[in-house]
Structures are given as C-alpha cells and as structure tokens.
Amino acid sequence: MHKKLSVIEDVIEKVKIKDAGQPEFLQAVEEVLTTLEPTVNKHPEFVKAKIYERIVIPDRAILFRVPWVDDAGEVQVNRGFRIEFNNAIGPYKGGLRFHPSVNLGILKFLGFEQIFKNALTTLPMGGGKGGSDFDPKGKSDDEVMRFCQAFMSELFRHIGPDRDVPAGDIGVGGREIGYLYGYYKKIVNEHTGVLTGKGLEYGGSLIRPEATGYGTVYFAAEMLATRKQDFNGKRVTVSGSGNVSQYAIEKVNELGGKVITASDSNGTIVDEAGIDSKKLEYLLDLKNNRRGRIKEYADKYNTKYYEGKSPWDVVRDEGIKIDIALPCATQNELDVTHAEGLVKAGCYCVSEGANMPSDLSAIKVYQENNFLYGPAKAANAGGVAVSGLEMSQNSMRLMWSREEVDAKLLGIMKSIHKTCLDTAESYGRNGDYLTGANIGGFIKVANAMLDYGIV
Ligand code: NDP
Ligand code: 2IT
C-alpha cells in the first residue's frame, strides 16, 4: 500500500514528473514547499483554492531566438527567455542573466524564488526572471551591444513599467542595461522605468549598484545582533568578485570586518591581510573596466591563489579559520562537504548574496549546527528592493539622495529580518530564517491569489 501523500508532497511529486530535466527548479520548489507544510493546516482555504499547485506554474514562459552578427561578420544565434512567474502583488520584477549555463530550468528556479523575495521587500512587485545563454566573456563592447539590441528587439513587446520590469543579474551590469534600455527607448519611443539598474543620468537610483551586497551584510549584521555580536574584527569569506561581492566587501570593511577571499570561475585568492579599500578599488577596476581575471589580484598583491577552486573548497581543504561566510557567486556553490568545512573552520553565520548558493544538504548542516543562516530570498533582497525604489522614483519623476536610499534599504533589510523571525516564531520555529522567509513571502502572495478567485 502506498502512503497517502500530503498536499505538499503531492505538488513536489508532480513537479518532479512534469518538470523533469529542470533540477534547479525542482530544488527550489522542494526548498520552499517543504517549509510551507505548517501553513496547510492553518489555511484550509489555500488548499481548497489549490494555491500550492498553482504557485509552482509560471503565468507564462517566453522563449525566443536571438540572432546577431559578431565582429568577424559571422551570424551567431542564442536563446532568449523571460519567465513571468507570478504578478499577484505587482508587476513581474526580476533580473536578466547572461551566462552560457542559462536554460529554462535555471530561470524558472530564479523566477520562483523571486516571487517570495519580492513579497518580503514590502514593495509591490511580482516575480519574474529572464536572460540568455549568451556569454559576454571575451566579447567586444560592440558585440555585447549588438547582442543586447537583438535581445531587446523581441523582449520589448513583453515588458512595460506596469507589466514586467527586468534588471541585471550575472553577466548583466550597467553596460548591458545601458544598451538594452537605449534600444527599448528607441523602438518604443518612451522614456519610462521599464528596466532598473539604469545609469544615474537616465533614471537610475543611487545605491542600486551597491544594494545587493550592502543588503546582504546588513542582513548578516541583524542576525549577528540577535547573539549580541557584530562584524568588528570578524574574518569573512566572500565568493565571487562581481557586483554583489564587490559591495559586500565594501560594507564588511566599513563595519570593521576583514574579507580574506574573493573568486571568479577560474579560482580563488586568499588575502590574509584582508581586501582593504585600496585593494578593493583595484578589484573594481580589474573586474568592471578591464574585465580581467582574479588571478591578477594575487599577482599584484602577492597573495595565495588557488586555480580551479572555490573559496569553499579552499576553506574545506586548507583549514582556514573564518567566522562569517558570504556566498555571492552562483547557485549550488556549497554542498555538504563545504558546509562541514565551514563548521570545522569555526564559521557560525552564512548570509547568502547569491541565489540558492547552498544546496539542500549544506542547509541541513547549517541547521544542525545552529548557524545564523540567512537564506538568499531574505539576505539578497536588498538589490530588488532598491530596484523597487528606482521604480518609485521614476514614477514620481524625482531622485532621492544616497543617504535617503541607503536609509530605506537598511529599513527594508531590518523589516525582512523581523518578518523572518516573527513568522518563524509564530510557527514554533524560533530562529529558523528559512522557514520564516518562505512562509512570510508566501502568505502575502497566497492571500492576494485567493482574493482574485480562480484566474
Ligand atoms: P556578476 O556577473 O557581477 O558576478 C558574478 C560573479 O560570480 C563573478 O565573479 C563570476 O565569475 C562568478 N560566477 C558566476 N557564475 C559562476 C560559476 N558558474 N562558477 C563560478 N563562479 C561563477 O553577477 P552578480 O554579482 O550580479 O550576481 C552574483 C549572484 O548574486 C548571482 O547568484 C545572482 O543571481 C545574485 N543576485 C544578484 C543581484 C544583483 O542585483 N545583481 C541581486 C540578488 C542576487 P566569472 O566572472 O569568472 O564568471
Ligand atoms: O536576483 C535578484 O534579485 C536580482 N538579480 C535583482 C532583480 C531586480 O529586479 O533588481
């Protein structure tokens, strides 16, 4: 006899079958839905309206061809995507990722997570995500421009300031947003807030570039404060060296911590003296202007460099002592061996700047070892939150000061932290930020869906 599946187990089983071949999406669904189990008894109305079944299916997924011509005159073809996952509480909102690994399943995982993250920000934004398997690495500015124009020549018909508002993610920064927005503006002939992460001269918000990294550190600081601790004098590992990592490092330095690692897809540097503000300036120029590799940092500052290893490999294999881990590169950076490595290293706090950087086995280790664990959808929500503030400023046709936006960002991160803790407590899961974040984000979206009836 088969055991009768719970409502949640049943949805997960269906996703396993119907979305086979999308492992990252299944992982995200499992991570969120298993923590929603206690909401089933409390909310029979959600069960009746089949909210759990409905929320794992996107409103729509748009797939398109992106043909462009490279500098050698050769035709190139990439795949373009936009997943409009859920707009129950506001227009679809979420980044665009340009990376060769991009596929439908990865963007569905990101779009699904975005629904709950955006709900946590307190701002009215639905969940979406998009991108392409285009690889910006090694491409000239002209090639990136032509690709962005080709990509926007299809995307434009699906987006709009009240409909779907994309932004950056891996491989999409200020340069790409400029090309994408410039082309949108030309073909639609409207200057509206249809993308966020725009340049300051044409509608961008102060603090948007900094927001994700700063927010991740603000969230960690809030978690540390619950144990009467702070960043002062702490040893911190950061992975990645892109947008999120750069501003996480800056904020850790401001709060008196010492960041000893940074990485890219080729390897990891370990700088025992810490990546101070001067070295960070070098790193920003290396990554944002010269688009070089992290190894050059090791050559310049005569630090250790581990080719082909992530910071989590290095911590695990080299026995480096650390207090706080900030994974800021990509999904599934940390597995169970890395998490056990963190425990051995003396680490007790993980705040996720990247999306889903810890796999389910790593999360289990954090939980068993009573880590302060800030899951991505809470800890990195600062980026999209300031995107939401960029939308507000565009609608009002004004611009807030750095101090104003930073204060709002800090307030939002504190509010998310409180929502996580209060929600976890109300479900008898004190200190469980994962459950708090998932249920906190879900309830808001589910209630809105309920109000709409069956649509
Ligand atoms: P960037 O493209 O600016 O930087 C990404 C960094 O991570 C680079 O150092 C890159 O190395 C490294 N990286 C990317 N993919 C891999 C991989 N497969 N293996 C090893 N290293 C990798 O992206 P962001 O900083 O914007 O994004 C980083 C993470 O943060 C992502 O998970 C993103 O989804 C998340 N995030 C971003 C937000 C934002 O506002 N930008 C908001 C919230 C979350 P290399 O250059 O060698 O590829
Ligand atoms: O994962 C994310 O939250 C982002 N890449 C930012 C999305 C946004 O719309 O600013």
Considering the domain boundaries, does residue 446 fall inside one?
no
The letter for the amino acid at 155 is L
Supply the pTM of this predicted model: 0.98
Atom 3 of ligand 2 has which residue's CA nearest to it?
384
Q: How many CB atoms lie within 10 A of CB 427?
A: 17
pLDDT tens-digit series, residues 69-78: 999 999 999 9
Q: Quick one: which ligand is closest to 170's CA?
A: 1
Q: Which atom of ligand 1 is nearest to the CA of 353?
A: 30
**Any ligand 2 atom below 6 A from CB of 132:** no
CATH code of the domain containing 69: 3.40.50.10860
Which tokens go with 125? 């934004």
Q: Which of 244, 291, 294 has most ligand 1 atoms within 8 Å of CB, for mutation?
A: 244
Considering the domain boundaries, does residue 19 fall inside one?
no
Residues 161 and 271 in one domain: no
Q: How many CB atoms lie within 10 A of CB 328?
A: 30
Residues 220 and 249 in one domain: yes
**Any ligand 1 atom below 6 A from CB of 264:** yes
Sign for the pseudo-dihedral over CA of 114, 204, 251, 306 = positive
Residues 86 and 182 in one domain: yes
Considering the domain boundaries, does residue 432 fall inside one?
no
pLDDT of 272 > 60? The answer is yes
**Any ligand 2 atom below 6 A from CB of 216:** no
Residue range(s) defining the domain that contains residue 350: 211-374
Residues 112 and 79 in one domain: yes
Residues 150 and 268 in one domain: no
pLDDT at 3: 78
Mean of pLDDT values over 384-398: 98
Which tokens go with 375? 């899951």
Considering the domain boundaries, does residue 66 fall inside one?
yes
pLDDT of 104 > 60? The answer is yes
Sequence-distant (≥ 6) Cβ neighbours of residue 439 within 8 angstroms: 35, 36, 38, 39, 423, 424, 427
Q: Report the separation in Å between the CA atom of 264 and the middle of ligand 1, taken as the mean of its atom positions.
A: 9
Considering the domain boundaries, does residue 52 fall inside one?
no
Q: How many CB atoms lie within 10 A of CB 34?
A: 15
Last residue of some domain: 334, 353, 374? 374
Residues 347 and 286 in one domain: yes
Residues 95 and 238 in one domain: no
Residues 338 and 264 in one domain: yes
**Any ligand 1 atom below 6 A from CB of 332:** no
Residues 278 and 325 in one domain: yes
Residues 90 and 122 in one domain: yes
Q: Which atom of ligand 1 is nearest to the CA of 171?
A: 2
How many domains does one find in the chain?
2
Considering the domain boundaries, does residue 215 fall inside one?
yes
The whole-angstrom separation of Cα 255 and Cα 370 is: 24
pLDDT at 171: 98
Considering the domain boundaries, does residue 278 fall inside one?
yes
Q: Which of 98, 113, 170, 275 has most ligand 1 atoms within 8 Å of CB, for mutation?
A: 170
pLDDT tens-digit series, residues 1-39: 567 899 999 999 999 999 999 999 999 999 999 999 999
Considering the domain boundaries, does residue 404 fall inside one?
no
Q: How many CB atoms lie within 10 A of CB 42?
A: 12
pLDDT at 1: 55
φ, ψ for residue 352, nearest 5 deg: -90, 110
Q: Three-state DSSP class for 89?
A: coil
Sequence-distant (≥ 6) Cβ neighbours of residue 393 within 8 angstroms: 203, 205, 399, 400
The whole-angstrom separation of Cα 373 and Cα 315 is: 18
Atom 29 of ligand 1 has which residue's CA nearest to it?
354
Residues 218 and 363 in one domain: yes
Last residue of some domain: 322, 352, 374? 374
Residues 369 and 243 in one domain: yes
What residues are annotated to the active site? 129
pLDDT at 358: 98
Last residue of some domain: 320, 350, 374? 374
pLDDT tens-digit series, residues 174-185: 999 999 999 999
CATH code of the domain containing 285: 3.40.50.720
**Any ligand 1 atom below 6 A from CB of 212:** yes
